[in-house]
Amino acid sequence: MYHLVDGFYQLLAANERGHYPIPFLGVELGIWQGQYQNATLPWLRWWDCQGNLLLTGHERTEREHQRAEQERQRAERLAAQLRALGIEPEA
């Protein structure tokens, strides 16, 4: 990866994670090995400056759906526990 400095391109060195920091954007660019769009390949991906992978829109949506399902299951368990105690949760 190169960075334009005073009209010349300079080769950037990777950091300890093997990513290329872009400080003015607060991100790093690097290669991630995994499945995306039904293909398992090395992909260019973005990370924050702490090394946390930034999720794609699809990944965020999928994670939100998983959290919502977990919350629904938790609510069902709690409602069942209340019913076992003779309390109707909807009342």
Q: Is the pTM of this model over 0.75?
A: no
Query: Pick from 14, 81, 24, 84: which is nearest to 51 by CA?
Result: 14
Locate the domains of the chain by residue range.
1-54, 55-91
Q: How confident is the model at residue 7 (pLDDT cuts 50, 70, 90)?
A: very high
- CB under 8 Å to 82, separation ≥6 — which residues? 88, 89
pLDDT of residue 71: 97
* pLDDT tens track for 28-85: 999 999 988 889 999 999 999 999 999 999 999 999 999 999 999 999 999 999 999 9
pLDDT the model gives residue 33: 94
